[in-house]
Amino acid sequence: MGAGEPLALRLAQESLILFGRFMQADGSAWPVALRLGWLPSYPALLRDVALALNPLVAASGADRILTTAEEVPLGVALGLAADRVVLTPAANPPEGAAFAIEGAYDIGHQTVLLSDTLLDRAQADAIRALAGRVGLEIHAVVAVIDLGLGARAALQAAGFEAAALFTLREMLPVLEQHAILPPRMRASVETWLDENAGTGL
């Protein structure tokens, strides 16, 4: 198995990756849902995901990790694994750049942005602008999963390095082989990926 395959299996086995029909805020339906915010309920799995992400952070050359608001627990675990400072966006910052990011930082530090999935360009640009207000330089985005909908190409076009432990498409046959994903559902997910490739959903 590839490096990400055992983790993908464990995430699916613990229902942190789900397949079915999941309504989105815009009214569309997705055949997959991620519940990686539940990782703290599975400490061993949280640790192992962080350890797997560590080489991606090391490859980025960053000495700071900035998490999205949803990924603070994973960010802390990754900070421990990577021995790097972890920063978080302020929940409701008052006016002023000094309050945009919480944590210990100085101007000019190379910073990697951590998310559960690869962000789209607009999300990444917004967080990079927020970090830029306090002098942090985000040049890379690291994630657990790349859904394969065009986010990687969009991030790279915007000047970000982009890396993920695994893509959704490459994991589908593995999950089917282990009887986690029925063949008909796998086909449905693959059709959805084909129809939405490059949209950056």
d(CA 172, CA 62): 31
Q: Where are the domains of the chain?
A: 5-196
Count of residues for the chain? Answer: 201
CATH topology of domain 5-196: Rossmann fold (3.40.50)
Would you write out the chain's pLDDT as a tens digit for each of its 201 residues? 455 578 999 999 999 999 999 998 888 889 999 999 999 999 999 999 999 999 999 999 998 999 988 889 999 999 999 899 999 887 766 565 555 788 877 777 888 999 998 888 888 888 888 788 778 888 999 999 999 988 899 889 888 899 999 999 999 999 999 999 999 999 999 999 998 876 655
Can you give the pTM of this predicted structure? Answer: 0.88
DSSP state at residue 39: G
Q: Which residue has the tokens 């999963």?
A: 145
